[in-house]
Chain A
Amino acid sequence: MSVITAAKLTGTSLMKAKITITLKSGVLDPQGVAIETALAGLGFDGANDVRQGKVIEMKLSETDEAEARAKAEEMCKKLLANPVMENYSIEILA
């Protein structure tokens, strides 16, 4: 039995999406600045332009990578990212 058929029969997901959301460059990131200051305070010199973002992971029922990516893309556009201030990138992990 192929892996894909087995996955369909057992309902397990084959695709995992990892979505990384970051602030656009040029947008002030006060949390990044605070982290940078704290790092410098701990003696970590040379950590510059610290930016904080978020990672959202999920399992998808799609078995086709392109379909999984398209679905994740739609989720980013509709809810997960705010295009006014954020960029996103999507990784599909089988």
Chain B
Amino acid sequence: MKTAVIVFPASNCDRDIAVALEQATGKKPEMVWHGDSTVPDADLIALPGGFSYGDYLRAGAMAAKSPIMRDVIERAKKGTPLLGVCNGFQVLCETGLLPGALMRNAGLDFVCRPASLRVENNSTSFTSGLDKSRYLNFPVAHHDGNYFADDDTLDRLEGEDRVAFRYVDNPNGSARDIAGVINDAGNVLGMMPHPERVISPLLGGTDGADFFKSLVNALS
């Protein structure tokens, strides 16, 4: 299985997610610079965490308009699986591939701590190997992770079973405790917590390794 990681200026989890993907697939992902125009052939594209373009204007706003994103959006619309973690989730909302927006945390603090998550929907290709009765422990590390959408959009997301993950203990004020959502076609997932930071006991946990294993099994 081939994967690609998009690297923006001030991405800072690009290498972490590359290690996680290599561990799960056995192959190094292609690292693709934001200024490129085409993503190499890939079965999964990942948008990493970080502070692309210094979070100027709005988190993810500039990255969403960078040259490579035209091809990323095109590929996602054709069905290529696309995962956005943290800043990647913010970028996905700014492109319009996912509904809603990530706003400043309700408590104003930058939150950096482990977060317990419920798997709300394990029938997506991103989550099919995850047991719904199990809580996942992924770290969060963000200043703008407060998921916002109007009530109609939130009702629609819940009605269509598109909330992938919810916080057990909401760290940022996100509407309806939402930590991750998928698009209507089911091939785009955005999530604030970082599975790529818990892929080895040395890093304090392996729940993230299970997440990537499940994802790779579903897509292979």
Contact = CB atoms under 8 A, between A and B. Distances in A.
B101 A82 contact: yes
A4 interface: no
B100 interface: yes
Contacts of A27: 103, 148
A80 B100 CA distance: 16
Report the interface size class on chain A. Answer: 10 to 19
A85 B99 CA distance: 11
A84 B106 contact: no
Contact of B103 (A34, A78, A79, A85): A85
B65 A31 contact: no
A53 interface: no
Contacts of A79: 57, 61, 65
A30 B107 contact: yes
Interface string A18-57: 0000000001101100100000000000000000000000
Contacts of A85: 101, 103, 148
Contact of A84 (B93, B105, B107, B173): B93
A49 B108 CA distance: 17
Contacts of A34: 108
Interface residues of B, number: 20
Given A28-B173, A79-B61, A79-B65, A84 B100 contact: yes
A79 B69 CA distance: 14
A52 to B, nearest CB: 10
A27 B102 CA distance: 12
B57 to A, nearest CB: 7
B149 A84 contact: yes
A43 to B, nearest CB: 22
A82 B108 contact: no
B194 interface: no
Given A79-B57, A80-B57, A30 B149 contact: no
B58 interface: yes
Nearest to B60: A82
A83 to B, nearest CB: 9
Contacts of A31: 104, 108
Contacts of A30: 104-108, 146, 173
Contacts of A78: 65
Contacts of B93: 84
Interface of B: 57-58, 61, 65, 93-94, 99-101, 103-108, 146, 148-150, 173
Interface of A: 27-28, 30-31, 34, 78-80, 82, 84-85
In the A-B complex, the 6 residue pairs with the closest CB atoms: A84-B101, A85-B101, A30-B108, A30-B106, A30-B104, A82-B101
17 contacts: A27-B103, A28-B148, A28-B173, A30-B105, A30-B108, A30-B173, A31-B104, A31-B108, A34-B108, A78-B65, A79-B65, A82-B58, A82-B61, A84-B99, A84-B101, A84-B148, A85-B103
